[in-house]
Structure 1
Amino acid sequence: MNSVWFKPELANLIINTNDIFEQVPSIVTDIISGRLDIADLVENMAGVLTNKDPENRAKGMSFYTKILKGLPNDYLNDLQVKFISKFYIDRLKDNHRVIPPVIEGYSVLIDMTEYNIDNCRDFLTVLFREVTCQSQLRQDRYTIYLIIKKLCEKDIDYVKNLGPDFVYGVISAMDGERDPRNLVFLFEFLQFFLKSVPLGHLAEEMFDVISCYYPIDFHPSPEDPAAVTREQLANGLCPCLCAVQEFGESCIILLVEKLDSNLRLAKIDSLRLLLECCKSLKAETFVPFVKAIWSSLSRDMGHKTDDELKLLCHEALSAVIAKLETIADTDPAFENFTKLILISCQTSIAEATTVAQFVKSAKILLTTANAAPQACEVIARAMIPATVAFYEFKSSPKLQIASLDFLGDLYVLAKTKGVMDRVQLQVAEVPQVCLAAVSQTSKEFQMAGFRTLIRVQDCLKADLVLPFVEVLIHNIQHSQDNDLLSISVETIHAIARKYPELIMELVVKGKCNIENLEQDKAVLQKRLNLLSNLASIDDFTKVIIEEMLKIISANDPDALQVVEALSGSISIASVFTNEKVTQIESDHGLIDPVMTWLYKEITSTNPESLAHGYTLIANTIGSLPPEKQQNILSKHTPQALEQCMKDDIYFLIIESLYSPLHPTVYTSKFEEIMTVALRVSLSSENEVVRTKACALIAHLLNKAEHGQKFELLYELLKTKLAACSRDDDSLCPRLIILYGWITKALIMRGSDLFLFWLQKIVGVLNTKEYCREGSEAIRLIMTEYPEYLNVKQHCRISLLYKQRMFETFSGLSCKLGNLTPDTKESYLLSWAYVMEKAPKTVLNNQAKKVTPIVIDSLEYDHKDMLNVSLNVISHFVLAKPVVIVDSLQTILPRLVQLSRYMKSMDVRIKSLECLYDIANTFRTSILLPYKQDILLDLAPSLDDKKRLVRSVAVRARSRWYLVGAPGEDKIN
């Protein structure tokens, strides 16, 4: 058959042989080797290319195009490419059946290295004249668009010179396109095309063709796993509508019209389009439309339930103001627009009778002020005095409190935007209003006044410090409310930073008298909390810390309260920085007296009472640099180990010393510490001590540096645990929990060694005796603890450790075999702990495997497991409906049953929300068989004792009632 390539008989062979296309690789090989010239091949195919039957001609062109696709891009020379280009152009005039392989072949030809852009002029002319794009099949239309894109990318300057005929051809080709995949491609290409090719007098026509798709109204089939989404289309179309200045006026008219629509999606898309317009269009374009834009935005900013709509309205308003500010010096539009907003909101605030009404207008003003410095100045100048007056004349306490918060917001914005020097007179009034608020007996007024004062402390005058301090100290001495006490301390701290001398005189040496702390035992703890907080300020550190350490060193009965106060303050990172704690330790020696005090109290005092002492040691050491940590370990480790051999309770001191270390810190005592921790974790009868020992083992493994240090600790651990007896019934549960801590430490540092320990845990999930401990170990691995294995303690935390845990647990659980009724609940509970923390994208990848597990979990009376399972089902209903649809017959009755689960309101609410999502997602034909039963079964939930449950039940039942109703969208 090979000889036929060189003869005219090739044409008949193509016509009469069905599998002729299988010979293409051989022909390509002959062409590349030089045995066959591609021009001769065309001559030998003349019989099929000029055949009277269009189908034969189409087959011939397909054959030739496939050969062309098989050639390397750099094989053809300039003359050959030119010859083939003319050949394909001539074929464009043929029957419509011949067109698909012609345009496919030309698309391949453009990719040839020697393709000259001059070849495209005649091709495009004939293409636009002879081929009606929208009458072709989807793939062929796509190929036409692809050809245009390739030519633009090859030489955009040449394409620009093709003139209006080319632009008109592009418009005609895409006009009427309806396939979503083609539209996604077109929208992406048009963003480049519109900005690169002048449209001239065809701009209006181009905009009309593009804007006919706006807003996107498209619903993909739930059965299509790779369907184009409405969001993809909308996100692609939006930049096209405002890509060039010529579209500006038409685009804004269009979006303003759609903003007034009753369709939510039309509003959302219009707001996003307005944001896009602000990025690409000139500010002058917006000037004629600012009143219409404000009218539409102000209406939707007050929506009661749609948070996304409100947020987009605020973003759009901010973008428009920022855009108009760019022409503020030459056009009054910016000033007029800002005043329009100001007057409208001032009126609304003056007429407000509820906090919601006040807050709505206040947020609009804050958005306006935040958009541009000039707008901030206008708003602050007008609204700070107006809000002060509003506070003084309004009788509603809630509105007065809201106005105080608003004053704080305005002050912060003025400071952030750099206009404070221009509104000094206005902001000077704010502290006086705060004083009026805190002088009232109401907790709400005082909290609001203090909150605002903290924010505006820079403008507080010295003559107001004493009145504030009187109120604050009164609170600290007499208030029993923790929130009020906390903010009172925070307020004094804020004032102290501005007026340290006054606070030292009035508070530290006055009302709280640091030199006589015992004068008022009743409020000692409150005074200590305040003083320890103030100790973070340089002017107060020496006076306060030294006095407190005297009490601790003297083993005073009040030392416990002093330690608690210091521990609480130093643990607040925003108050005590690492540098500050290091300075205190270096200058005053905080750790030594606290350690001495702990040794004296540890055997005679309840361990829980001393918890603040251990926390104070740990937080202090954790704030120190590695070299200082090393020195402290060398000093205190020998005594701690010696005492721990006598009594396990001393291990709490060891844990506080070693848990917060930097990974670079390592001493010769680490192996001994690991040995002691292992002993205590398995043998101590004190559960708190055992937990601390497990946590310390985890810390040592997690932070040990790679290499010999880690290997020594890990091998020591394995050797010691291998020697433990598995026959001891009391030891096995403790071992399983320890395995959980070891697994957690290793997987968080990204070590593959975690798998060995996780296998042990998963293995016990199928044993009746220890399955509960196994599920508890899984919970421990997935849970984030504020006191263990965190960044503050310098631990290694792999970003994907929860994802890795999910994938590994999923694989190991498959090997468990058949579960018994006694073990299945613990197994499912373990899955719940893993799924709760796993990223949603990981769940999506394992949806088919996870769904049956989640459905089985709905049968068990375990609140935490039910909450997780309902969340996962709700996620799958929205993200992966295909995996849920076949199980609706099982899921729906269980959800209905859980809607009456009296042990947890959250379970009832989530089950009802899930029922709503199901009714709002699946096809009517799928839901109709269940409709009547669901409506009857949901009736009791309408009378639930909790209002929130009743509200969700009404929503869910109403949605089910609409299933199959006339006019309902068949594909939701």
Structure 2
Amino acid sequence: MSFLEHQYSLFKNLFIQKNSNSLNEADDYYDNLMNDITSKLAAFIDEKKYTLLNVVTSIKDDITSVNDENRLCGLEYLSIILSNIKKDTLLSNECNVIFDFFLSKILNNTIDFYCFKQILNSFKIILTFNYLQKSFPGVQHLLQFIQDEYNPNEYVALVRYSIFEILNIIRINGFIQDEALYVNAFLNVANGEKDPRNLMESFKLNKIITSTFNKEVIYSYSQKLFDVLFCYFPITFKPPKNDPYKITSDDLKNALRCAISNCDYFSIDAFPNLIDKLTATSIIVKNETLKTLKDCFLKYHRKSIAKYWQPLWDALKNEVLRGSNDEFDEEYKVNNYKEALSVIKTLFDRLSGYEGENFNFDNDLLKFSFEDVKHNFENNKNIKQSADIFSTISSINISINDKVLRLVLPVFFEPINKSSEMDMESIKLILMNMSLFLKEVAIFQTEMSSHSAITQYKDELLVFLTRNLSSLSDNEIHIKTLSVFQLTYLIKIPAYLTKDEIYMISEIVLSLLNSTIGVNKNIFLSCLDCIKSIVSSNYSDVVKDVILSSLLQNLRTAESNQIFDKNLKTIANITFSCSSLTSYVAAELVDYIQPSSVVDLESCFLVLSTVYTIIDSKLKSATQKDSVNTVVKIRSSVELREIRNELINPETIDSLYEAIFAYDQIFDHDGCLEVISLIFFTYSLVLTPDERVLFCSKYIKPLMEQVFGGSNRLSILFAKIYAALDIENDVLPAELVFKNSLSVVYKTNNETASVVDMNYYMMVALAVNKQKDLISSIENLIEIYKNSNHNIGLMFWLAKGLCLSSHKECKNIITFLLNLLDDNALGDQIAESLQILMVNIPIFRKITFLDTKNLNINSLHQQKVFHLMVPILINKYKETDDELLKSRYLTALSHILKSTSVNIKNNFTQDLFPLLVSALDASASDVVGASLQTICDTFVSQPEVLLSHVDTLIKKTIVLSKVLKNGPKVRALSLQTLLLFVNVVPINILQPYKNTIIKGLVPVLDDPNRSVRKLAVDTRQAYFDLGMAIA
């Protein structure tokens, strides 16, 4: 036996063993051994030690055998060897011979069905060999076989897929000599295909043929190529579980849509068929038809589309007229109304400007279509749909927009010009539909020529809109709101309105804001949007001169707190909407407190609070934030200056500084001094490190002697500015602030911290945060605790400064403080003070500027502190029987929970639950409220955790909702918990409690608090409806 015969014998034994293994458990094992044999032989052929002819000769008996198994083994052996040899090993003649050999297995009605898979695999390999000639006749014979003799219905999907692969390889490697033959072969293969993977190949290959083949060939076969596609339209396919090919329904739909829309020759069949499909009742069929039409419009020649413009328009128009904007199908997640509008837009866009035989866009499609729906505008029938159609068309480009407006504006203004007094409903309809068109004009942001339709109708528009605002009754809120919105659109059109017209509109807006309907939410928001547009159009000077100056004057002349509050809130909201006005408004509001030495403290506090709110809001919108109240990143000096210039100017800061010392009432008022200090803090944040040094030299250094000489109210301002200073600064080194602040604390030694004392505690906290080595061990902290005469407030602020930076002594100081909960004298104060560690405070905000920062803040500090404290509290609660201590632990826990985000609390829900339930019996309403809030949060995020405790919670929340001493917040939370159960608790669990809850909440219907009463009504109604079918 020769070497080659021996190798084949080994292979054949493995092949037989593999096929006799019915469980297929060792297939990979046999495959690997067989591959080792064939790989070695392929390497010998590559090295010219053997020829392919030698191999064929060694197996000739089997590959020509009448025995199916022997023949299958021989052809498998040969196929694998072919797959392993290099592409350039076989010479042209060898390629031809082996190709012809495999052809002989299938031609002349002698198809070797049993070995067909191996034969096809061999063709796929040989077609990739370098030296198989492109003109080799055998390839054409193979295509002839596929066209004439191959019957797809006789083979499984995997074999049919191989035929698609062969067609692709023939095309890619340039073997096509006769495109017509290739197309016919493809059509035979594609006909009747049902397998998703094969259909994907069919659709893709169809598209390639219509993209790359000779136009004459495509044209002659276009009918058949279209039919083999459209017979699947619209394709429906639900992928099986664990589909190895990961083919989705959308993949097939997209591939079919791309193939249908790819060939312009398909238009003669596609448009009539798609128009017909559009009449289907199925939502999904309509949607797929609309999407396919849109793709066809985008890809077919305009000439082909123009031939069918009228039936296409009729079909699409009717689709819109039958629908509505809110026609969203929840099951299929489609909106055919919007889709149809989008398709109409594409149709008009493609045909715009096209001039063809018997077709002119303006005179035929545009004019005809408008005349077709014009009666809808005139008769108020389907007016919304008609307006949607033409406003969508007007959004194509500015030229078409103008053409559409020339058609619609005369129709809108005809009834306005005819009648001096129109009914309110007609005015409302005109406004609603006109807004669709004006909005589109504004979106283009293009200056209008004097000949444009919108310019020619400017006077009519302004008269109509301003008359609605000045002449109609204040009861017509909807009309006035719509009119303001239309004016806003006009303002947004670049250079459309003159400055005088902007002044006029500003005065109308001011009049609305000052009127009795100015408090209406819709009116107010529309006015804000209008003002924002005026500012965006570079007319901020008009807003200042007309609107803000009047509102600011109203502050000084307000005859009641209500009027004062309304004007101040309006100023603030305008500034929020137009942040570029921040610096101006801040200066004007600060000026409000300057004129006299007699200051209305309540008004002063409100004004200062507004100043702080608008500049803080501006800062947050202008900078990057990595987490809540923690990190602000500024990347360049230019960016910093831009932010500062829009925030607050230095003169305003000077005025505030002077006000502190000029007015004793402000200096002595905690709220006013605190807010001014926060303004200084915010301003300090947008100074460069060098500018902060100068700032401190001017405002802070002169105060140091007073601040550190003894307890002084100026510490409120000092602490805020110190918080904004860089960690490494020479003006106020951390060690200096730390020692001097502690010295003041040691002298005052108050048991209960005042606002002033608390600011000294903050300075100590800021100092240890800025310079970590100020505290090296827990002993340092205990020493401070003793020297301060057991000052709990100081210790908690120290702990906060350390925890923010995740200092190494964090765990020790928290453990130390929690152990003091058991102290009879200090325990209650410790419990109350725990919230200091969790709450976010404005001045503990890190700002990074290039390589500098003002504080050391770990973004996960809250989570770490919570995870340190809560396990200790849970263990303490479980280990004691002392009810007083239990109550104290619950109070401590409540103060931690109410300042902790839900995602941090979730990890401890299971362990916390017994404590949360016990807390519902606490006498302190804060404790009860925090517990209820955590329970509500848990039901939203982790409902499964609490489902087994529904009985307990229902009984306790019903009782809590009726106890007046709990306060309205707790009563409302109790009702919210019961209401939440309806949405998250399975109905079979909740149903037995239905009547108990409905009856139990009857007393709450008489609650003195209106919001609680309303919540009780809503909760009872939800339980009345429980288990009932809602029509």
Match status 1:413 vs 2:440? yes
Equivalent in the alignment of 1:266: 285
Taking only the aligned residue pairs, the percentage that are identical comes to 14
Equivalent in the alignment of 1:921: none
Equivalent in the alignment of 1:182: 198
Amino acid at match of 1:46: K
Match status 1:368 vs 2:458? no
| Deviation readout 1:555-614 (Å, 9 max, x if unpaired) | 74354344355456556769998877633668543334446657977885464x888757
Q: How big is the shift at 1:78?
A: 5.3
Amino acid at match of 2:819: D
Structure 1 633/148 Cα, relative in aligned 2: closer, same or farther at 3 Å? Answer: farther
Amino acid at match of 1:377: D
Distance 2:995 2:399 in 1: 56
Distance 1:673 1:868 in 2: 54
Q: How big is the shift at 1:834?
A: 9.8
| Deviation readout 1:499-558 (Å, 9 max, x if unpaired) | 77877766677x5686x9634454455556667758999999998765544334567435
Equivalent in the alignment of 2:379: 351
| Structure 1 residue corresponding to 2:314, chosen from 287, 290, 295 | 295
Q: How big is the shift at 1:401?
A: 3.6
Match status 1:103 vs 2:120? yes
Gaps of 5+ in 1: 702-710, 784-804, 838-849, 874-889, 904-942, 956-972
Amino acid at match of 2:592: I
Match status 1:23 vs 2:34? yes
Distance 2:239 2:75 in 1: 35
Q: How big is the shift at 1:264?
A: 0.8
Equivalent in the alignment of 2:463: 432
Amino acid at match of 1:372: N
Structure 1 902/12 Cα, relative in aligned 2: closer, same or farther at 3 Å? Answer: same
Distance 2:899 2:165 in 1: 54
| Structure 2 residue corresponding to 1:563, chosen from 608, 618, 628 | 608
Structure 1 339/74 Cα, relative in aligned 2: closer, same or farther at 3 Å? Answer: same
Gaps of 5+ in 2: 20-29, 329-334, 623-638, 746-751, 771-800, 822-826, 848-856, 878-888, 919-929, 955-973, 999-1018
| Structure 1 residue corresponding to 2:59, chosen from 37, 45, 50 | 45
Distance 1:685 1:76 in 2: 96
Q: Is the 8 A contact 2:587 2:648 kept in 1?
A: no
Equivalent in the alignment of 1:386: 411
Q: Is the 8 A contact 1:469 1:492 kept in 2?
A: yes
Q: How big is the shift at 1:240?
A: 0.8
Q: How big is the shift at 1:42?
A: 1.7
Distance 1:312 1:580 in 2: 44
Equivalent in the alignment of 1:306: 327
Structure 1 481/285 Cα, relative in aligned 2: closer, same or farther at 3 Å? Answer: same
Equivalent in the alignment of 2:73: 59
Q: How big is the shift at 1:253?
A: 1.7
Describe how 1:589-600 pairs up with structure 2 within 5 A: 589-594=651-656
Describe how 1:902-913 pairs up with structure 2 within 5 A: none
Match status 1:447 vs 2:481? yes
Instruction: Select between 856-865 and 121-130 the one with higher mean Cα deviation.
Output: 856-865
| Structure 1 residue corresponding to 2:187, chosen from 165, 168, 171 | 171
Distance 1:474 1:602 in 2: 34
Match status 1:124 vs 2:152? no
Describe how 1:663-812 pairs up with structure 2 within 5 A: 667=729, 717-724=807-814, 725=816, 726-729=818-821, 738=837, 760=868
Distance 1:773 1:171 in 2: 79
Distance 1:477 1:902 in 2: 47
Equivalent in the alignment of 2:792: none
Distance 2:7 2:578 in 1: 97
Structure 1 866/643 Cα, relative in aligned 2: closer, same or farther at 3 Å? Answer: farther
Describe how 1:527-566 pairs up with structure 2 within 5 A: 548-552=589-593, 556-557=599-600, 558-566=603-611
Describe how 1:519-668 pairs up with structure 2 within 5 A: 519-522=557-560, 523-524=563-564, 548-552=589-593, 556-557=599-600, 558-567=603-612, 570=615, 582-583=644-645, 588-594=650-656, 605=669, 607=671, 632=695, 667=729
Q: Is the 8 A contact 1:740 1:758 kept in 2?
A: no
Equivalent in the alignment of 1:337: 365
Instruction: Select between 338-347 and 733-742 the one with higher mean Cα deviation.
Output: 733-742
| Deviation readout 1:436-482 (Å, 9 max, x if unpaired) | 11113233333222222222135445666676555444444443606
Equivalent in the alignment of 2:798: none
| Deviation readout 1:910-945 (Å, 9 max, x if unpaired) | xxxxxxxxxxxxxxxxxxxxxxxxxxxxxxxxx995
Measured on the aligned residues, the alpha-carbon RMSD in Å equals 5.9
Q: How big is the shift at 1:113?
A: 5.5
Amino acid at match of 1:349: F
Distance 2:978 2:433 in 1: 42
Equivalent in the alignment of 1:960: none
Q: Is the 8 A contact 1:171 1:206 kept in 2?
A: yes
Q: How big is the shift at 1:251?
A: 1.6
Amino acid at match of 2:519: D
Q: Is the 8 A contact 2:146 2:188 kept in 1?
A: no
| Deviation readout 1:13-52 (Å, 9 max, x if unpaired) | 5785547753331331243144554332222111211111
| Structure 2 residue corresponding to 1:86, chosen from 81, 96, 100 | 100
Structure 1 473/822 Cα, relative in aligned 2: closer, same or farther at 3 Å? Answer: closer
Match status 1:286 vs 2:305? yes
Distance 2:657 2:82 in 1: 84
Q: How big is the shift at 1:216?
A: 1.3
Distance 1:410 1:303 in 2: 20
TM-score, normalised to structure 1, is: 0.69
Distance 2:167 2:996 in 1: 62
Q: Is the 8 A contact 1:49 1:60 kept in 2?
A: yes
Q: Is the 8 A contact 2:838 2:899 kept in 1?
A: no
Secondary structure at the counterpart of residue 457 of structure 2: helix
Instruction: Select between 13-22 and 259-268 the one with higher mean Cα deviation.
Output: 13-22
Structure 1 217/465 Cα, relative in aligned 2: closer, same or farther at 3 Å? Answer: closer
Q: Is the 8 A contact 2:83 2:125 kept in 1?
A: yes
Distance 2:249 2:606 in 1: 61
Amino acid at match of 2:378: A
Structure 1 295/453 Cα, relative in aligned 2: closer, same or farther at 3 Å? Answer: same
Distance 1:564 1:891 in 2: 47
Distance 1:620 1:500 in 2: 23
Distance 2:994 2:248 in 1: 32
Structure 1 329/580 Cα, relative in aligned 2: closer, same or farther at 3 Å? Answer: farther
Structure 1 589/513 Cα, relative in aligned 2: closer, same or farther at 3 Å? Answer: closer
Structure 1 281/753 Cα, relative in aligned 2: closer, same or farther at 3 Å? Answer: farther
Instruction: Select between 482-491 and 144-153 the one with higher mean Cα deviation.
Output: 482-491
Structure 1 350/147 Cα, relative in aligned 2: closer, same or farther at 3 Å? Answer: same
Amino acid at match of 1:100: K
Describe how 1:822-837 pairs up with structure 2 within 5 A: none
Q: Is the 8 A contact 2:834 2:896 kept in 1?
A: no
Structure 1 306/518 Cα, relative in aligned 2: closer, same or farther at 3 Å? Answer: closer
Distance 1:186 1:857 in 2: 59
Distance 2:566 2:724 in 1: 28
Describe how 1:65-76 pairs up with structure 2 within 5 A: 65-71=79-85
| Structure 1 residue corresponding to 2:251, chosen from 226, 232, 241 | 232
Q: Is the 8 A contact 2:42 2:82 kept in 1?
A: no
TM-score, normalised to structure 2, is: 0.66
Equivalent in the alignment of 1:792: none
Secondary structure at the counterpart of residue 308 of structure 2: helix
Q: Is the 8 A contact 1:477 1:526 kept in 2?
A: no
Secondary structure at the counterpart of residue 233 of structure 2: coil
Amino acid at match of 1:435: T
